Amino acid sequence: MTLLDDFLVRATLAGLGLVLAAAPLGCFVVWRRMAYFGDATAHAAILGVALALAFDTSVFGGVLVVSLLMAFTVSSLSNRGYAMDTLLGVLAHSALAFGLVAVSFLQGVRVDLMAYLFGDILAVGVPDLAVIWGGATLVLVLLWWRWSALLTATLNPDLAFAAGIDPRREQLVLTLALALVVAVAIKVVGVLLIAAMLIVPAATARPFATTPERMALAAIAIGALAVIGGLQASLEWDTPTGPSIVCLAAILFTLSSIAQALFGRARP
Amino acid sequence: MSGLNVQLGGQTVLHHVDFSIDSGEIVTIVGPNGSGKSTLLRAIIGAVEPGAGAVTCKPGLRIGYVPQKLHIDPTLPMTVRRFLDLPQRVHDEAARDALDEAGAGALSGRQMSGLSGGQFQRVLLARALLSKPELLILDEATQGLDQPGSAAFYQKIAEVRDHLGCAVLMVSHELHVVMAASDRVVCLNGHVCCQGEPEHVASAPEYRALFGTGTGGALALYRHEHHHSHDHDPDHAHEAAE
């Protein structure tokens, strides 16, 4: 375990574990235009933190339960045809506000709110690593198992029905995976930047991919680069680590967009 | 195929719809907007639950479905070949055969988002053919195609039917083309107004009441182009004949 004694090694492993799950799931978030959905689920997590601390249970469990509740609520409301962007905007930010207020009620516990809002990847311990990799593996297995059905349902719900796939069930799979990723990511990048880890690597990978699988793999590679580079940068310049990772991912996205604008236009 | 019997009750868009289709038959559903044409197809593939009544079909019936429109988000990279692998992977040979059959042989490596409307519909057809369907369902499959394009597409459908012996159930707005390509026409407006051979339906009073003299004129134009004109309603006849 000598390797894991190094906080930098633990932080890198934590980031890579998150990327492994968040990048492929993020592709679905991008393809299905669920960015706000991810935001709402992530922001609800702070409420989960407050509840977990109030009832003295594990933060991971509290976040998972509340994120699941939020994800299922949004998911079922979207099937009823509400105006989604407004509704998600309301839910996402009110969940965050209620969470922050709930945390302030906690007495006797000193809560480092910043750690939950922006993550505290450098403080990741070995038990955290186990949780992160366990959750990430679960998400990967889920996505691997349902991959084809998920893609078909993403393309067109009726196409899925005709092939004997229930798109509502596939949406539940994504909902579950999303809640898991949020619970895994809270320690790494915090509730405010989880959506970034979902969307930015996937969007960066898009110009270089010809099939969904290649896009997912490229997103993992780009996310991993952002994690490793962001960690180094934050050590070098003493910047907050989670935001540094997201900044690097955003820079990679910009470069990828420029590359597409320069070289992509040649073939229509 | 034992045939389908669809009954949807309550205040839904379809009231007590009874109809069946046999193998080898090409049946077209026509009807005004909001008449429940797509809903009927979606009930057959199981995308909507009937409020009352039931859809019965042969156990293990293989359905090939070509949706009305398929919007592929530009963020989703998808080659034609990869698209054919959804939801089940198929052999290269089977994929090539299906593409050839649908008249889309050269498109295998192209991105779905880069296809023209006609190419896109052919790829959708190829994908539907991969399951060797016993029932092929097409929902306004020629929307957005020009008239030669859609005529060629219907020609293709007839060839596929002859080749596979499958039943074909389709919805279309292009009455003049469809009438010529179908064995049977079902005129739908929440319920089955009338059905039968194209000529029979075209002359039925229920059909004329639904589509007015304009479309009736177009049909008459199609059927009797050389000795029939509709001077009393030239705009409609012209518009529908385009």
Q: Write the CA distances from A139 to A50, A61, A142, A178, integer angstroms.
A: 25, 16, 5, 8
Residues 6+ positions from A152 with CB-CB distance below 8 Å? A159, A160, A163, A165, B86, B87
Which has more pLDDT, A78 or B118?
B118
Q: What is the CA radius of gyration of chain B?
A: 18
Query: Which residues does A contribute to its contact with B (CB < 8 Å)?
Result: 30-33, 148-149, 151-152, 154-165, 202-203, 206, 209-212, 214-215, 268
How close is the nearest chain B Cα to the Cα of A209, in Å? 6
> Is the same domain home to B242 and B153?
yes
B113 touches chain A (CB under 8 A): no
Domain span at residue B190?
A: 22-49+134-242
Distance between CA atoms of residues A32 and A198, nearest Å: 13
Q: Hey, which residues does B192 pair with through a beta bridge?
A: B188
Instruction: Indicate yes or no: CB of A30 within 8 angstroms of CB of B75.
Output: yes
Nearest to A90 by CA among A48, A51, A124, A40: A40
Chain A within 8 Å of B87 (Cβ-Cβ)?
yes
| Chain B 36-75, residues with CB within 8 Å of chain A CB atoms | 42, 45-47, 63-65, 67, 70-73, 75
Q: What is the CATH number of the domain that holds B177?
A: 3.40.50.300
Q: Of A89-103, B12-26, B171-185, B215-229, which range is least confident?
A: B215-229
Kindly state the average pLDDT of the residues A110-137: 87
**Do B124 and B170 share a structural domain?**
no
ipTM for the predicted complex: 0.78
Contact B72 A155 (CB under 8 A): yes
Nearest to B87 among A31, A33, A148 (CB): A148
On whether residue B218 sits in a domain, the answer given is yes
Q: How far is B49 from chain A (nearest CA, A)?
A: 12
- pLDDT for res B213: 52
Residues B202 and B85 both lie in one domain = no
Residues B151 and B186 in one domain: yes
Query: What tens digit of pLDDT does each residue of B18-72 get?
Result: 777 888 888 888 877 777 788 888 888 888 777 677 777 777 788 888 887 788 8
Could you tell me how many CB contacts below 8 A there are between chain A and chain B?
77
Candidates A148, A159, A168: best to mutate against B (most CBs of B within 10 A) is A159
A163 to B76: CB separation less than 8 angstroms, yes or no: no
Do the beta carbons of residue B193 and residue B163 sit within 8 Å?
no
pLDDT at A63 over 70: yes
Based on the fold, state whether residues B113 and B213 are members of the same structural domain: no
Average pLDDT over residues B98-125: 84
Residue B2 confidence class, pLDDT cut points 50, 70, 90: very low
Q: Tell me the pLDDT tens digit for each residue of A129-156.
A: 999 999 999 999 999 999 999 999 998 8
A103-107, A200-204, A207-211, A259-263 — most confident range:
A200-204
- Interchain contact, B75 vs A31, CB within 8 Å: yes
Question: Is residue B126 in some structural domain?
Answer: yes
Residue at B12 is within a domain: no
Domain membership of residue B2 (yes or no) is no
Are residues B38 and B76 located together in one domain of the fold?
Answer: no
As a whole number of angstroms, the distance between CA B110 and CA A211 comes to: 11
The domain boundary residue, chosen from B93, B113, B132 = B132
Task: Find the mean pLDDT for residues B3-32.
Answer: 70
For residues B241 and B177, membership in a common domain is answered with yes
Residues of B within 8 A of A268 (CB-CB) are 114
3-state secondary structure string across B53-65: CCCCCCCCCCEEE
In this structure, is residue B1 part of a structural domain?
Answer: no
Same domain, B39 and B151: yes
**Mean pLDDT, rounded, of chain A:** 88
Domain count, chain B: 2
> How close, in Å, is residue A98 to chain B by CA atoms?
34
Residues of A in contact with B131 (CB under 8 A): 163
Q: Residue B72: closest CA among chain A residues belongs to which residue?
A: A155
Q: Are residues B147 and B187 in the same domain?
A: yes
- First-to-last alpha carbon distance for chain B, in angstroms, is 37
For residue A211, what pLDDT is reported?
Answer: 92
Strand B167-171 to strand B192-196: parallel, antiparallel, or no bridges (unpaired)?
Answer: unpaired
The answer on B109 and B77 residing in a single domain is yes
Answer yes or no: do A155 and B88 touch at CB < 8 A: no
pLDDT band at A54 (very low <50, low <70, confident <90, very high): confident
Determine whether the interchain pair A162/B65 forms a contact, defined as Cβ–Cβ distance below 8 Å. yes
Give chain A's domains with CATH numbers.
3-260 (1.10.3470.10)
- Order of strands, edge to edge, in the sheet holding B63-66? B63-66, B135-139, B167-171, B26-30, B184-188, B192-196
DSSP-assigned states of every residue in A84-121 = HHHHHHHHHHHHHHHHHHHHHH--S----HHHHHH--G
pLDDT in tens, B134-164: 888 888 877 777 777 778 888 888 888 888 8
Lowest mean pLDDT: which of A206-215, A246-255, B69-78? B69-78
User: Is pLDDT at B114 greater than 50 in this prediction?
Assistant: yes
* Whether the Cβ atoms of residue A31 and residue A206 lie closer than 8 Å to each other: no
Closest CA to A196 of A161, A243, A150: A243
Q: What gap in Å lies between CA A14 and CA A62, rounded to an integer?
A: 20
* Whether residue B31 is found in the same domain as residue B144: yes
Query: Going by DSSP bridges, is the β-strand pair B192-196/B184-188 parallel, antiparallel, or unpaired?
Result: antiparallel
Residue B5 lies in a domain: no
B181 pLDDT more than 80: no
Residue of B nearest to A33 (CA): B73
Residue B97 parent element (H or E): helix B92-101
B63, part of any domain: no
Say how far apart CA A39 and CA A28 lie, in whole Å: 14
Q: Are residues B157 and B195 in the same domain?
A: yes
* A130 Cβ contact list (under 8 Å, min separation 6): none
Residue B10, in any domain of the structure: no
